[in-house]
Structure formats: structure tokens, C-alpha cells
Amino acid sequence: MKKYLLSILFPVLLEIICITGFVLFPKKIVYINFIMLMGFILYYYKSFSFHEFVNNVKEGFCFWKKVVYIVLGVILSYIIFYIFSELLFSNIDSGMFKIKTTNLFEHVLFSIQVIILPCIAEELFFRQAIINVSSSKTIFFTSIISLVLFSLSHGLGYVTILEFILIGIPFIVGYIKTKNVYVVMVSHFILSLLANMPTVIILFTI
């Protein structure tokens, strides 16, 4: 347990510092969030192998079937959240951290950190590093930790926390079932692309 806690200490502290920055300097979230995501990647870079990633993708149907299940699971979770949020939270501020950009450089930073970086950084930290699959008990408790940290990195309002808990569950289930971070990474990338590409296109065409 001590070794596990020490292994996640730096990224947890980094997240706490960055969340504090989000609150204190909302106009600088585009920079602070970039630092947080890059910090996760640099800390866990040894856990990522491009060669393994390519080999996994080349597995074909077996790999992509798992990806599709996770993508559909996240979409279903979001639909469930959307229905309940419209019924119960329609007039409540979600409390989500909003990334604002004012120039071309910030537009580029925004694009990178909503499409490319999350699928690597968040899966290396929130799933692979935090979730311990050695026993049912550790899976349960570390999954709770994963969901809490994942949710708080996106906002402090209870609506946002609920949203990302629901979205995070299919990612966690997918990782636990496959024990393959690359499956979850690709799923995350596809979802980030679908969710954020329209915003990115609009950003660069206005």
C-alpha cells in the first residue's frame, strides 16, 4: 500500500495544484490544464510503448470490438446523465472548468488538450496507474479513487462530478476487463474526437 501511494503521490499533488489554479486563475486554464496533462504523460512515459500500441491496433477485430464496447458504454452513460440533468439540473451551473482561448496559440493548445492529450494522460494516470487489479477489494477501492480524481479534474460542481463519474465507469470497466490501457486510450481518443472536433473547427474558422 505504501509503495502504491508513493507511486501516485506526485500526479495527485500535481492535480490538486492545477485544480487550485483553475479556481484562482480561470482565464489561464488553457495553460494550467496543458501542464497537468503533460505532467501525467511525462511522469508515466515509461508505461507507454508506441510499439505495443501499434501491435494492439494491428490485432484487428478483437481489439476494435473492445473499443466499440467502451465507446458505446460511454455514450450510453452520457445519454443517461443528459436525461437526468435536463430533468433535475437544467437551471443549475454544472461547475465544469471551462477552457477559454483568445488567440491562435491558445486555440492550438486547446485543440491538443481536448483531443490528443487526454486519451494518453488520463488513461495512464486515472486508469492504469491508479486502478490496482490484484484483487476484488483493491479493484473496488482504487476504482473509487480513480473516479473521484477523474471527476474533480473536470470540475468541482456536483453536476460535473456526477457526469464524469458516469462517464468514467465504462472506461474503468473496460480497463479492468481487458487489462489493456491501449484499448481504453483508443476509445477515449475516438470519444474526444467526436465530442470536441466541432468546437475545434469552429474555433479556427471564426
- Burial class from Cβ neighbours inside 10 Å (0-12, 13-18, 19+) for residue 180 reads middle
Q: Tens digit of pLDDT for each residue in 66-105?
A: 999 999 999 999 999 999 888 888 788 889 999 999 999 9
User: Which is nearest to 173 in space by CA: 76, 85, 49, 59?
Assistant: 76
Helix 158-178 / helix 136-152 crossing angle, nearest 10 deg: 140
pLDDT average, residue stretch 112-132: 97
* pLDDT tier for residue 130 given thresholds of 50, 70 and 90: very high
Residue 155: helix, strand or coil by DSSP? Answer: strand
Alpha-carbon Rg for the chain, nearest whole angstrom, is 17
Please state the φ and ψ torsions of residue 76, each to the nearest 5 degrees: -60, -40
- β-strand partners of 101: none
Cα 203 to Cα 6, 16, 35, 84, 188: the distances in Å are 40, 29, 21, 30, 22
This prediction's pTM: 0.94
Largest CA distance in the chain: 51
